[in-house]
Amino acid sequence: MAKGDRAAFEELYRRTSPWLAVRLRRRCGDEQIVAEVMQETYLAVWRAAGAFAGAAVGGTATGWLWTIAARRLVDAFRRRAHHAEPPPAAAVPDAAPAAEEEALAETVGGEVGDALRHLAPELRQVLQAMVLDGLSVRETAVLLGLPEGTVKTRARRARTAMRRALV
């Protein structure tokens, strides 16, 4: 892809777009924003493919892709912040675990996985955005539609709960 290989880009898109769309929809219920972010993300990936350092710095293509998409989602929320209504936040979790939560459970197992599963959903969302997705307090606040102070408080409560569960 870094050399302008369109077939390589199409293959990346074919393999990653369903996964990326699901992750974005979990954080934003507005299909228009999700479609916009998907388009902006893949355009950015195409333009910056030569800049991806990859495994040389311990990164993965999907991690790089998610970082770009998460930042584009925050940017989309900021662009629409002037509207009367805030952007739709992540959908309320259903009784059945989401695919992302199941993947998280498989990735983070043992005591840590158990502790994560026992966190209140609002604490788990903040922890996931800040720790797993690598977003700042401000980006997490915009993403979840919360004040920054609330994000900080929930992050502190989540860390405290995790410490207690792991002792």
Using CA atoms, how far apart are residues 27 and 44, in angstroms rounded to an integer?
Answer: 20
43 versus 131: the higher-pLDDT residue is 43
Among residues 72, 61, 56, 53, the alpha carbon closest in space to that of 135 is found at: 72
Helices of type H across 108-147:
110-118, 121-127, 137-144
Nearest 5°: CA angle at 158, between 133 and 139?
35
> Which string of b and e fits 74-103 if b means at least 16 CB within 10 Å?
bebbeeeeeeeeebebbeeeeeeebebbee
pLDDT of 139 reads 80
- Average confidence score pLDDT of the chain: 78
pLDDT of 77 reads 81
Average pLDDT of the segment spanning 115-130: 82
Q: pLDDT tens digit string along 103-118? A: 454 445 566 667 777 8
Look up the pTM and report it.
0.53
Q: pLDDT tens digit string along 17-26? A: 999 999 898 8
pLDDT of 81 reads 64
* Percent residues over pLDDT 90 in the chain: 21
Average pLDDT of the segment spanning 54-70: 75
pLDDT of 103 reads 46
Distance between start and end Cα atoms, the chain? 46
